[in-house]
Amino acid sequence: MEVRDCLISAPGKAILHGEHAVVHGKVALAVSLNLRTYLQLKARSDGKVCINLPNIDTFVCWELSELKQLTSFLREMQRLDAELVKRLREFIGVTNGNLDSSTSAILAFLYIYLSLFGSGLTVSVWSELPTGAGLGSSAAYSVCLAAAFLCATGNIPTPLKEWCQEDLELINSWAFQGEKIIHGNPSGVDNAVGTWGGMLRFLAGKIIPLSRVPLLRILLTNTKVPRSTKVLVARVKDKINKFPSIMIPVLDSVDAISCTCEKVLTEMTCEPITGDHYNILEELIDINQHHLNVIGVGHPSLDTLCQVTAARGLHSKLTGAGGGGCGITLLRPVILSPSVEAGTMKDLRDCGYDCWETSIGGPGVQQHFPSSVKEEIMEVLNRY
């Protein structure tokens, strides 16, 4: 089989509106981040299979002969189940306990590689996304793996511009398998955002990519406060059970915010964008952040984020599970004073936070020529 070298990228994701409400049958809006994960696949003729993940200090090589028995077992099983995951874990020497980022990434790589490939190669991955911050870094990684293996083996074409819908659905289906290896029972939202980009509407298990959305500038802030999604989901559920007549209307309001936001963003693609559009988006951000505090997923670090940006006339909310983690701050398209953005980023970094100026609503998975990728990223990818 002739193997094609390839260079792939996929975006991270943020939740614009609908955190936690989606668990209770409400609408959530997920958007792509213009912070991307890059994967380079290069064929090898020395019988080795290597994975290089410099973000998490991981470099592993196997001989093809080591993988043969595992390949046979996987293809006999023909589906991802607990027994297969157990065999993969045994192969890399992990049998007990929770998996760290490195081990999870290796397991996802092995599963998708063994399912779709069979030749020597080196895969190198570099990400602009922080890991474990609720920004879809594992899904972007899985999307890149799926697209690279499918493309390198000719299962999908090398596109001049974009893959067709059928190709994207195939990429997404394999990426979802990688997410299942890493997370066990994922929603599928993160890998769908990584595949299609733009904005997706998630309701009652159905994921609907929205055909056109405006590109919005944001500040993305990582408070670096660790949180447990499982604990926060349980906290919200407990509040709903305790105060249903109070909490259910709050979730209904969050649902209405998501729907109103979707309507405004759709209008922004069909008519001239005005300050009124941004006024509404900013009000929705403020209202939703108050609701998220009411349902119990706020945190003092997120309150500080909102206060720091409000002092500069900007509007922020948490994104993801809450309880710490990340927040987004909407930036208007015209920079009235560059010092406002620079000053805001300095203020946030002085709080001990990481902060990036980026955008949401950009493209999903893409193939690149090396010349189109930043030099510093290519330098990292070419080290091995």
**1 within domain boundaries:** no
Cβ burial, residue 357 (10 Å; 0-12/13-18/19+): middle
Residue 174 shares a structural domain with residue 269: no
State the pLDDT at residue 91.
Answer: 85
State the pLDDT at residue 247.
Answer: 93
Q: How many domains does the chain have?
A: 2
* Catalytic option among 137, 138, 258, 316: 138
Residue 139 shares a structural domain with residue 249: no
State the pLDDT at residue 159.
Answer: 73
Q: Which residues of the chain have pLDDT under 70?
A: 1-3, 75-79, 97, 160-161, 335-337
Lookup result for tokens 């920004």: 135
State the pLDDT at residue 76.
Answer: 67
State the pLDDT at residue 118.
Answer: 81
Integer Cα distance of 44 and 64 in angstroms: 11
Residue-wise pLDDT tens digits, 207-239 = 888 878 888 999 999 999 988 888 888 899 999
Residue 11 shares a structural domain with residue 124: yes
Active site (annotated) includes residue 303: no
Q: How far is CA 272 from CA 259, 285, 332, 335, in A?
A: 21, 22, 14, 18
State the pLDDT at residue 318.
Answer: 95
State the pLDDT at residue 72.
Answer: 74
Active site (annotated) includes residue 347: no
For the entire predicted model, the pTM comes to: 0.91
* Catalytic option among 104, 142, 190, 316: 190
Integer Cα distance of 1 and 64 in angstroms: 15
Tell me, letter by letter, the H, E, C secondary structure of 334-377: CCCCHHHHHHHHHHHHHCCCEEEEEEECCECCEECCHHHCCHHH
Structural domain for 242, as ranges: 217-358
CATH of the domain at 314: 3.30.70.890
Residue 169 shares a structural domain with residue 104: yes
Residue 185 shares a structural domain with residue 43: yes
State the pLDDT at residue 283.
Answer: 98
